[in-house]
Amino acid sequence: MAKKTQKAKTAKTRKGRGLSFQALILTLERYWIAQGCARVQPYDMEIGAGTFHPATALRALGKEPWRAVYVQPSRRPADGRYGQNPNRLQHYYQLQVILKPAPANIQALYMASLAAIGLEAEEHDIRFLEDDWAGPTLGAKGLGWEVRCDGLEVSQFTYFQQLCGRECDPVSGEITYGLERLAMYVQGVANVYDLVFSEDPPLSYGDLYRRGEREFSHYNFSVANIEKLLSHFADAEREAEALLERRLALPAYDQCLKASHFFNLLDARGAVGASARPDYIKRVRHLAMRCADIWLAK
């Protein structure tokens, strides 16, 4: 009980220093909803980044206009640090915005979103640093920047040129906010686990996620059963093939995502040799490309 009041106090003293984690998400979502984005729900599977969500990976293909914003829990098994590193997580949150076609004022829209969470361009140093992006497992390529605010990388900004091996026409703009980092900056916190998740109830990021980081790090690095993972990967790949035969794009794409995650786990487990790696990536990409074909064919 005593512990809890103490936490409440910490949360309070931080109040006014910046938005809580959940308030930050809400503010950004509201902002983008006002720009005509559909607020889509997170995808219910283990994926490495918001780009893999069908709301981006598939919807950014084809001609129909599309605008969406969503939070996507993202898993990068090899990035786990047992809950000990103040900056690294194997599970974290991205806020993803996808605008198709990318509007001419997309940079200005983005700057205004930063202002909405208290980062006014006049007071801060906001820069666009060259960062061309490629997602080999998804057969994706784009040009853009990483956006820095006072030296801190707060977003990835990409004009998609290619997704699932297909040319993007029209070109979409993708904006990805690294929510933990952004919140740490806004709140002035040096350790991710000290983030104020919510003020009432008074919760820190650590309260919610530290245990998971510890346990999943053990799982990812030393416990996950390699043989099972290998067979899971093969199963998912086979299942995807079978679904592609039946021309069921979305179920097949799910299996492709599964395969991708099993690959990431195998990688974290140290079970992917240097020469085998390109082959795994190629196999996943191949599935993604075929899913896209069927998706586009309707």
Partner 1 sequence: MAELLIELMSEEIPPSMQRAAARRLLEALDRHLAKRGFETPTVSGRAKDGIAFSTPRRIGAAMTLPQKIVKGRTAERRGPSVKAGQRALKGFVKSLEKKARVVKRETEKGVYYYAISKMPPLKLETALAEILPSIVENFSWPSSMRWPQSSLSWVRPLRGILCLVDGKPVSLEVGGLRSDIFAQGHAVMAQKPFRPDSFSDYKRKMRQAFVIIAHEEREARILKEAGKLTDKHQLQEIDDPELLQESAGLAEWPTVLLGELDKSFMALGEAIVSEVLKTHQKCFALRGRQGKPAPYFLIVADGRVRQGGKAIIAGNERVAKARLEDALFFIKRDRQKGLKTLAGGLEKIAFHDRLGSMKDKARRLEKLTQSETLQKAASGEYPRSVLALSARYAKADLASEMVADQPRLQGVMGGIYWESGKKSGGAGGGGDREVGRAIAEHYRPTAAEGILPRSQAGALLALCDRMDALAGFFSIGEMPTGSKDPYALRRAARAILRLALESRAMVKLFPYGIHLRDLFAEALEPFRGSEELLRQDFPIFMAARLQEYLTHHGMPQDIVSAVMETAIARTTLNPVPIRAHVSALESFVKTKKGKDLLVAYKRVAGILAEERKGAEGGARHSESDLSHLPRDVRKLIALPYAQSGFKAALLERPEERELAKYLIKPRVKLLQERLARHEIGEALEFLGSLRAPVDDFFNHVLVHDPDPRIRENRIRLLANLRDAMNEIADFSMIQERE
Binding residues for partner 1 (CB under 8 A): 85-87, 101-104, 107, 111, 121-130, 132, 142-145, 149-152, 159, 161, 169-171, 185, 188, 190, 270, 272-275, 277-278
The answer, yes or no, to whether the previous bond of 201 is cis (omega within 30 of 0) is yes
Residue 252 · residue 291 · CB < 8 Å: yes
Q: Which is nearer to partner 1, 7 or 148 (CB)?
A: 148
Q: Which is nearer to partner 1, 22 or 107 (CB)?
A: 107
Q: Which is nearer to partner 1, 16 or 151 (CB)?
A: 151
Quote the Cα angle for 215-216-222, to 5°: 95
Residues contacting residue 173 through CB under 8 Å, at least 6 positions apart: 97, 98, 99, 100, 102, 103, 106, 157, 158, 159, 160
Residues contacting residue 246 through CB under 8 Å, at least 6 positions apart: none
The residue length of the chain stands at 298
Q: Which is nearer to partner 1, 80 or 202 (CB)?
A: 80
As measured in angstroms, the least distance from the Cβ of 23 to partner 1 is 20
Q: Which is nearer to partner 1, 253 or 262 (CB)?
A: 262
C-alpha pair distances (Å), 212 with each of 181, 205, 218, 219: 19, 11, 10, 10
As measured in angstroms, the least distance from the Cβ of 243 to partner 1 is 29
Q: Which is nearer to partner 1, 42 or 101 (CB)?
A: 101
As measured in angstroms, the least distance from the Cβ of 285 to partner 1 is 14
As measured in angstroms, the least distance from the Cβ of 11 to partner 1 is 20
Q: Is 17 helix (H, G, I), strand (E, B) or coil?
A: coil
Instruction: Give the span between the Cα atoms of 228 and 232, in whole angstroms.
Output: 6
As measured in angstroms, the least distance from the Cβ of 129 to partner 1 is 7
As measured in angstroms, the least distance from the Cβ of 157 to partner 1 is 9
Rg (CA), the chain: 20
